[in-house]
Amino acid sequence: MAHGQAVRADDFAREIFHLLGPPFDAASRDGARELGNYRAAWLDAIDAGLSPGQMGDLCIKGRKDAAAIGQHRRRFYRGEGSPEAYWRFRFNKHLAARRGLSRAERAIG
Query: What is the average pLDDT across 81-107?
Result: 80
- Angstrom distance (rounded) from CA 46 to CA 51: 9
- Which of the four pLDDT bands, split at 50, 70 and 90, describes residue 76? low
Distances in whole angstroms, Cα of residue 59 to Cα of each of 2, 27, 62, 95: 15, 24, 5, 10
Burial (CB < 10 A; 0-12, 13-18, 19+), residue 27, is exposed
pTM for the model stands at 0.83
Task: Give, for 103, the enclosing helix (H) or strand (E).
Answer: helix 83-108
Tens of pLDDT, residue by residue over 15-56, are: 999 999 999 999 999 999 999 999 999 999 999 988 888 999
Is pLDDT above 70 for 1? Answer: no
- Which of the four pLDDT bands, split at 50, 70 and 90, describes residue 107? very low
